[in-house]
Each structure stands twice: as structure tokens, then as C-alpha cells.
Structure 1
Amino acid sequence: MAEEGLKQAEPRPSRAPVQKRGQQRVEAILDAAEAVFGDMGVDAATTNAIAERAGASVGSLYHFFPNKDAILQALAERFAATMTTMLARELRLDEPWVPLPVLFREMIESFAQMDEAHPGYLAVCRATDSASGGKSAVSLQMEEHMQELVRTLLARRMPGIPEAEAARHAALSVVVVHAVLDHVMSVEEPLRSGIRSALVDMLVRHFTPLEAQFPRATSP
């Protein structure tokens, strides 16, 4: 009996490899959806086209996503997480002495690289916002996270700035940057690069007086 009890107590094999394979399939489907949405737009895209691009059967796709809208939602969430993580890195919160022109130029360049590397991003954002009749929950949450990061940046660069003022400038900058970068994706070069450069100049001109008005963080 004791032997039986010991056998029953043996742990089951880990499901981690199975879960990892499942996550890899999900990512492959999302990668395929991003490409399809970028090529033909969200409205024209079908689950058949996404499955074919992913090298999977439609049945396999439906195992993870019940319909195209669910894929769209998951892709929007992945984009939002990527954008927020990238902004957190580019704001260099642990280096508040970095000159504003350098900070904003690197940030806008990173956003531009993200947009160009992921042509389906704009289509996904517009589709999720349109379905919500305004800003989608994902877009609103992403903007709030970004505003929080900018508020943190201002608090570290300008310790004397009032919270309400930091919040106002953070909200304004995030909304403006988001709107301009979305717009330039439909503009041809060299105008596209010119607008991005002007956006950097605008941010520098906006925040430079604030650094003069409030005590700045000490340089290393």
C-alpha cells in the first residue's frame, strides 16, 4: 500500500514544453496577421489568409482565436506592450541629464523604426479604434502608460515641477506625438522625415523652458 501511495504521489510531467509550443503558435499567427493586415488591410483580411501565411490550418488557428476580431485585439495588445516598453527604454529614466535634443531625437527615431518594421501597426490601431467608436480600451491604456512614463521623466529631470503641471505636459506630448507619427505613415519621403525632424524640434522647444523654470536633476 505504501508503495502504491508513493506511485500516486509522483509528480506529473511538466506541461511547460506544451505551453511553450502553444505560445509559439500564437506568436506565429499574430506575425502572419500583422503581415496580412499590412498587405491588404483589416477589412479585406480573412482568417484563411492569415492561416495560410502562418503555415497553419484554419482549424489550428481557431484553436487559439475564435475569429478575426480576437486576432486583431491580441495584435493590438502586443503592439501596445511593445510601444510602451520601447518608450520606457528610450526615455532613459535613469539618465535624466541626457540633453533634450538627444533624448527626443532617439525616441522619435525608434518610433519611426517601429512603424516601418511593422506596417500592419497603423491598420490595427485604426481598426480597433474604429470598432470602439473612438479610442479603443487598448489605445487608451497604452496612452495612459506612456503619459505615466513621461510624468516620471519630468519628475526626475525637474524635481520642482508640480504634479498637475507635469501631468498636463505629459498628456499633451503623448497625444501630439501619437497623432503626428500616425499621420506621417501615409506621407511620402522626404516629407515624412522632415515632419519627424520638426516634431523633435517642437518637443525640445516645448520642454526647454520647463527645465529653465524648475530645478534640474544634478548631472553625474
Structure 2
Amino acid sequence: MDSGAQSTHSETGRAAYAAKTGLTAPVPAPDPDLAPIPVPGSVGQRPTTGTTRFAYEPWEVVTAGGPEVIDALPKKDAKMQVRAVAAEIAEFEGPVSLDRLVTLTVRSFGMNRCGAKKKQQIARQLRQLDLTVDADDVVWPSDIDPATWREFRPTGADHAGDRDITDISPVEIANAWRAVAARRPDAGREELQRAVLQVFGRKKLTRGITAHLALAEALL
């Protein structure tokens, strides 16, 4: 994918957000605590020469309907409404884990949570979107090719709690890992793991996080 296609990523999401809500989503600003890393190909949401990076921007949940829409699944009208909302979220926030996409979709219909069976039902609907869902259950926006994407979105302090490490694509983590490793060529594995975590607003290496980082490491 060329840089022109990549540069439309944020704009596509903001356009979808504006069409849905009538509001303009904020343009992400560079995080002053995360200086650019001079590694070719390690660019942010708005590629330029060099490695300017822009912070991760979470989807702002906007109510699209009531819980009755979720309860009505798998009726056709309910399916179409759920898929439409999920597609907008994925275009704005993707790459995003299928699990997080389900959660954000449910919240858009006035529900803070739902049972495992209903989550599976919603996930089946989201897999019907005309979007790539990869082997790690990450949903990709239509303008990003997972095979060629080399960006990553650092998580600023304001959004450190918005997405778990396990909600971040291993591809995105691997992209950050390459940049960190280039800056710290003598660092050991655990030091690199902790540095990558810091890029995404985290510090603690738990068993689950270590396992997710291993998926990213395998892509290096």
C-alpha cells in the first residue's frame, strides 16, 4: 500500500464519525513524551519523510440505538444496524481486536455489557463485514493492508486505559518493536518488551501480556 493510501486512514475514520454523528472528531496530536524514532518505514497515522508518529485515538461511543436492537439479532434490520455501526468503529479505530469491536458496538446500543452467548452472536455478525479479520481476530480498516502496514500508534497518558495490550494487533506491536530495537540495539529481550509496553502506555509484564508480545515477536 502506498503512502497516499495510508494517509487516508485517520481521515476515513473521522469522515465516518462525522457522517454518523454530525460532529467532527478531533485530529490526533503528537504526544510530546514520545519523540520520533528515526527508523525507515516506522511511521505513524500520517506518513511523512522521517518517522512522525501520532497517538492512538479511541472511538468515542455515540448512541446509535437501544438495547432492543441487540436483543433483536439475528433479525435483518438489527443485523444491518449492528454491522453499520461496527464498520464505522473499525474504520476509525482499526486495526482493532474483534473483542474490543464487539464491546464498542454493544455500548453504541446502550449496553455496558452482554453475556458470552450474545457476544458470540455479535462477533458472527461483525465477521460478515467487508473488512479483513486476521488469524489473531483483529479487524482491519478497508484502507490498510496488514501485510504491508508498518505504522504504530503510541498510547498517550490520556488514553492509557482505553485499550488493553491484547486489543492491539500483534502487527502494530511488531512495528513498534522494530523501532524500539533500532534505538536500543544492545537491549535484552525483557528490556525491549518493557520498552514496547511503554510505547502503548503500559508497564507491567503479566503472563497474558507476555504471551501477546510473543505473537508480535514472531512477526519480526
Taking structure 1 as the reference length, what is the TM-score of the superposition?
0.28
Structure with the greater alpha carbon radius of gyration: 1
Greater fraction helix: 1
